Chains A and B, each alone.
Chain A
Amino acid sequence: MEEVIATRNLTKKYKDVCAVEDLNLSVNSGEIFGFLGPNGAGKTTTIRVLTTLTKPTSGSIWISGFDVEKEPAKVKELIGVVQQHLTFDLDLSLSENMELHARLHHIPSNERKQRICELLEFVGLTNQSEKMVDELSGGMKKAAMIARALIHKPKVLFLDEPTVGLDVQVRRKMWDLIRSLSRNGTTIFLTTHYIEEAEALCQRVGIVHQGHLIALGAPSELRQKVGMVTVEILVDGSFTRYEHFADRETANRYVQRLSSDHKTIIIRDSNLEDVFVELTGKKVGET
C-alpha cells in the first residue's frame, strides 16, 4: 500500500515549549487516520507543519514522496486543508470564496463553475452559493470549507477538528461526508478530541499527549492493550474506579467477587478514552 504521509523525528518548538517532539508517522493511501488528544496536545501544530503553514524545528515530512520543505509547491497541489477555525474571506459570497480557491489552485476557467456546482451539491449547499459566508450556519460553514478544500481534487485531506462546535445531527452528517470522501479514495488525516469520532471514523489512531505520540494503531488494537471490557465502579458514591479485563467473562467474575457495598457497577466495552487515561492518567478533555 502506498505511503501518503510520512514523518521522521518531526519536532516543532516554540521558544522553550516543545509542541511536537520526535513524531514518526506513516499514513497509507485511502486511510482515515485520526490524531487524537486533548486541547494543547500538539494536534493543530502537527497539521500546520504537515501542510506547510509552519516550518518544523527539525525532522522531515514527505507527502506522496515529496519532501515538504524542499518541494512545498508540489505538496500544496496534493493536499486539501480544512482548518479548525473559519478561513473564509467574509467580504465574499460562498461561490466567490470557492472561485478564489479554484483560481489559486490553477483550475482552468472552463472547469471552475462546474466543479463549484458539483461540490456545493455534494455537501448540500447548492441553494446557499450566492449567500455571504457569514449568513451560513456553523454546520454549513464547515461543510463549505470541506467543499472548498476539495476543489483541486486533493489526494490527502487534512481536517483539523472538523466537527468541533457542531450539534450531534450535523456532526453525524459530517461523518457521512468524511466516509464518502474516503470511499472515493481520498486519504484523510483528521485531528479530534472526540473519542467517539475517532472510533466511528478512523481505521487507525495516533494518540498524542503533550507533543508526544503515546500510542498508535487500530482502535481495537489499542483497546486490547488495556483490555476489551471495562468495569466502572462508583466507590462510596463519590468517585468512579475503572478496571479493565480481557473479556466479559473475566469482568463478570470480578464483579461477582465485589462486596455488596458497591451499588453502581457498569460493565461495558472499553474505548479509546480508557486507553488514553491508562496511558496518561488523564481524561481526553483535561489538559
Chain B
Amino acid sequence: MMDTLRDIYAVVWVDLRFLSRNLGKTMALTLVAPILYLLAFGYGLGRGANIEGFSYLQFIVPGILALTAMTTAFNTSGLKLHVDRLFFKCFDETLMSPVSAFSIIVGKALIGVLRGLLSSAALLLACLVFSPLPAVSWLFPLSLVVTCFTFSFLGVIVALLAKTHQDMTLFMSLVVLPMAFLSGTFFSLSQVPTALRIILNLSPLTHACLCLRASALGQPFPWISFLILIAFGAVFFSLCFVALNRTNK
C-alpha cells in the first residue's frame, strides 16, 4: 500500500512541480472561459429568467462548475500526458521504471483532479459574489471529486491512444465541446424532447450537472445519476489499462 502511494506520488510529482511553478498562469487560463460563460449567459442572455424556481444565474452556476471541472480535468491530465508521450517522449522513462500500471494511471489522473478542484473552487468563490447558492450540501464536493476523476481518466485514455496532436484536438472538438454545451449545463433537460433527453443521458457530464445542481440548490439528490457518473469513472479507469497496454505494441 505504502509502495503504491509512493509510486503514485512519484508520477504526480513532476506535474505538481510544473503546476506550482505556473499556478497563476494556469488558474487564469482555466477561469477565463467559465467567467465569460457566466457573464454572457447568466447576466446577459438569461437575466430575469427563471428555471425550476431559481434565477437563471443560480441555475447555471452548478452547470458551469461541472463544465469547468470536466474541461480542466480532461485537459490537464490529457494534454500534458499527450505532450510527454508524443513530443517530449519522456513518458517512456515512466514506462521503463518499475512503477505499476495502476500507479501510472492514478498518478497521471490525479493532477487533472487537483487542477479541476482548484479551478472549480476558485470559480465557486467568484460565483458566490454574484449569486449565492442557496443550499450547498456535502454531496456537492463529493460530486465534484467524482466528476474530476471521471474526466481525468477520460483524458488519460485519449492521451494514451492519440497518435497525433490532431487526434487529440479532434476528440476535443467532436466529443468534449458538444458535451460541454449539450449536457444540461445551460438548460434544463426537462425543456428538451424525450428522444434528445435520452441521448443526452449518455453523456457523463449530464449526470455531473444533475448531481452538482441538486446538491447546490437543495433539490432531491439524483442518486441514480451519481451512480451512473461513478460507473462512467470506473469504465474510463478500466479503459486506461487497455490504452496503456496498447502503448507497447
Interface residues, chain A, with chain B CB atoms under 8 Å away: 51-55, 73-74, 76-77, 79, 81, 83, 85-92, 96-97, 100-101, 103-106, 148
Contact = CB atoms under 8 A, between A and B. Distances in A.
Given A87-B89, A100-B13, A54 B249 contact: yes
A106 B88 contact: no
Contacts of A76: 96-98
A89 B92 CA distance: 11
Contacts of B84: 89
Interface in B1-26: 6-7, 9-11, 13-14, 17-18, 21
Contact of B17 (A51, A92, A148): A92
B248 interface: yes
Interface of B: 6-7, 9-11, 13-14, 17-18, 21, 84, 88-90, 92-100, 248-249
A77 B14 contact: no
The binding surface of chain B is classed by DSSP as helix
A106 B6 contact: yes
Contacts, number: 68
A89 B6 CA distance: 20
Contacts of B17: 92, 96
B96 A81 contact: yes
B159 to A, nearest CB: 15
Contacts of B94: 104
A103 B89 contact: no
Nearest to A101: B93
A91 B17 CA distance: 9
Contact of A53 (B14, B18, B92, B98): B92
Given A79-B96, A104-B10, 20 more contacts: A51-B96, A52-B95, A54-B248, A55-B249, A76-B98, A77-B98, A87-B89, A88-B88, A90-B88, A92-B17, A92-B18, A97-B90, A101-B93, A103-B10, A104-B7, A104-B11, A104-B93, A104-B94, A104-B99, A106-B98
